[in-house]
Amino acid sequence: MKEFGGEGTIGLLASKLTLEGPIVKDRTSFILSGRRSYLNLLQMPFINNPLGEGDNTGYYFYDVNAKVNHIINDNNRLYLSFYGGNDSGYSNSSHTYSYENLTTSVDEETSMGWGNVISALRWNHVFNKKLFANFSGTYTKYHFNLLNSIERITKEEGELKDEYYYHADYRSGIRDYALKADFDYIPSISHYLRFGASHIFHRFTPGVYATLLKDEVIDRPSLSISDSQEFAVYVEDDIDLSKKLKVNLGLHYSGFMVGEKNYESLQPRASARYLLDKNSSIKASFANMAQFVHLLTNAGMGLPTDLWVPATENIGPQESWQTSLGYYKSIPGGFEFSVEGYYKDMEGLLEYKDGVTYLDIEGNWEDKVEVGRGRSYGMEFFLQKKTGKTTGWIGYTLSRSERQFEQFNDNEWFPFRYDRTHDISLTVSHQFTDRIHFSGTWVYGSGNAITIPTHTFQTPPPNPNGVPGLLYHYAARNNYRMNAYHRLDLGVSFIKPTRWGQRVWNVSVYNAYNRLNPFYVDIRRNYAEHRNMFVQHTLFPALPSVSYGFKF
């Protein structure tokens, strides 16, 4: 609010700049920042592929953040904010293989992108010492798109012998226009009430298109559009029942209107904290929830074709309840420890039916899903140190997330695609001196669960005198675990005050031990060696970087 300032970083992998300052001194201020990576431009000449030449792979992201704050008077403030960001990864490859008289050329294009736009106008109003409120209007837009295209041509001495073309285009988009009012009311020292209401207009545009014909790509069908409205009203109260016991009781009522259908949900929530002594406490909670948006994940190998879809006139919302119990303790030396167990039960979950394909088939996603149930449970351990030259935290979660659908997998429970049995995060920061800081992060996560065949076997032909058949056997849905994801990031910062502010040299390495983490897996044909391979696709190897940062 008082003076202009900024900071920035120029690095090998990405750069960012942040500027902030007053527009009207002590009344209106702004902050503006932007980032952009350019790894894709730098690495282009150096990408190689174990099967040959002709690859172009890259990834980049950018985002912009802007905010303006304005103080109207002591009781009224306005905030205007905007965020826009986009990530994009792409891979194009072109290879030619020869075997005896046959020449096969394979051209493949894969791209994946996602992004968000969030804009909000918020008015903060203080009614009196006990009551204040925030009124906001927001616009958000999310998009995700995935493109996979393969063309394979085999010729024998220049004459076309075989041709195969496949094109798939997955798009997932959500636009929300929302109005919200949130009130905070403190009637007494032992009560803190929050209540409010919201209304959101949703526009979903999930769209999938697939074809085996090259000509059809030119004339793609339009995406399906689904409009709906969601409203919610809530009230909750933090109550100090005694010096040791504090409870939060709440009630959330939400509704979802789509087409001729109205869904309503009343969701009670409660949590309690009991102080065992000044350094330790026990917490428990229970909550009922409803969610009107579904995530559709694919069960097989291949690219992650996740699709966000809304509840519709035919597909209801997800409903769940969750309970948790935890123990928290402050330990001398600046440590905090907690352990918490939870269980969550879910109904109304969606999974693709067996065999669903978007290839040359009429009908939308609603015809391709089954409804089932799920459960998640686990334990979370957390240890944190906040004070001293060395700070950081370590967290470990042991959990299971499973699904059960009557129509497939013999109605047996199977792991959710994103079930992560072990999840570990370790972060350490150490101040060697005032000018030399070290940071390190290590993360570990169990691999995604996907469905892969375990056998192939012969079958009689479906038609008499027909060609014999070959089928794949899948022992169960999501029967295979991709390799675990783990990564170590290290960084050292050299800080020096200057006349105009501060400069920082940072030397870091992302993925320090060059772990080839899985992005997705599939079966590929090694045409040079005439065999099939089970391959894991990765995105980023070790990425060292040097950056120069400044602050004024």
Write out the binding residues for another protein, residues 285-324 only, by CB under 8 A: 298-300, 302-303, 305
231-290 residues in contact with another protein (CB under 8 A) are: none
Q: Shortest CA distance to 78 belongs to which of 29, 123, 119?
A: 123
Question: Distance (Å, rounded) from C-alpha 238 to C-alpha 188?
Answer: 11
543: contact with another protein by CB under 8 A: yes
The DSSP bridge partners found for residue 248 are: 238, 271
Q: Is the separation of the CB atoms in 428 and 440 below 8 Å?
A: yes
Please report, for residues 83, 432, 466, 486, the alpha-carbon distance to residue 544 in angstroms, rounded to integers and kept in the order given: 28, 21, 58, 17
Q: Tell me how far, at minimum, the Cβ of 357 lies from another protein, in Å.
A: 4
Q: How many residues bind another protein (CB under 8 A)?
A: 81
Which of 33, 57, 267, 397 lies at the binding interface for another protein (CB under 8 A)?
57
Over the window 447 to 466, marking each residue x when it contacts another protein by CB under 8 A and - when it does not, the resulting string is ----xxxxxxxxxxxxxxxx
100: contact with another protein by CB under 8 A: no
Toward another protein, which CB reaches closer, 13 or 426? Answer: 13
The DSSP bridge partners found for residue 89 are: 59, 112
Residue 365, helix vs strand vs coil: helix
Q: Kindly state the greatest CA–CA separation across the chain.
A: 89
Stretch that binds another protein, among 137-145, 257-265, 429-437, 521-529 (CB under 8 A): 521-529
Q: Is the separation of the CB atoms in 347 and 401 below 8 Å?
A: no
21-50 residues in contact with another protein (CB under 8 A) are: 39, 42-43, 46-50
Q: How far is CA 361 from the centre of its chain?
A: 29
Residue 214, helix vs strand vs coil: helix
Q: Tell me how far, at minimum, the Cβ of 63 lies from another protein, in Å.
A: 23
190-219 residues in contact with another protein (CB under 8 A) are: 210, 212
Angle at 366 between CA 362 and CA 372, to 5 degrees: 140
Toward another protein, which CB reaches closer, 60 or 231? Answer: 60
538: contact with another protein by CB under 8 A: yes
Q: Are strands 5-11 and 293-296 parallel, antiparallel or unpaired?
A: unpaired
Over the window 339 to 368, marking each residue x when it contacts another protein by CB under 8 A and - when it does not, the resulting string is -------------xxxxxxxx---------
139-168 residues in contact with another protein (CB under 8 A) are: 148, 150, 166, 168
Question: Distance (Å, rounded) from C-alpha 185 to C-alpha 246?
Answer: 17
495-514 residues in contact with another protein (CB under 8 A) are: 514
Q: Shortest CA distance to 245 belongs to which of 277, 267, 273?
A: 273
Toward another protein, which CB reaches closer, 43 or 431? Answer: 43
Q: Tell me how far, at minimum, the Cβ of 149 lies from another protein, in Å.
A: 11
Q: Tell me how far, at minimum, the Cβ of 268 lies from another protein, in Å.
A: 37
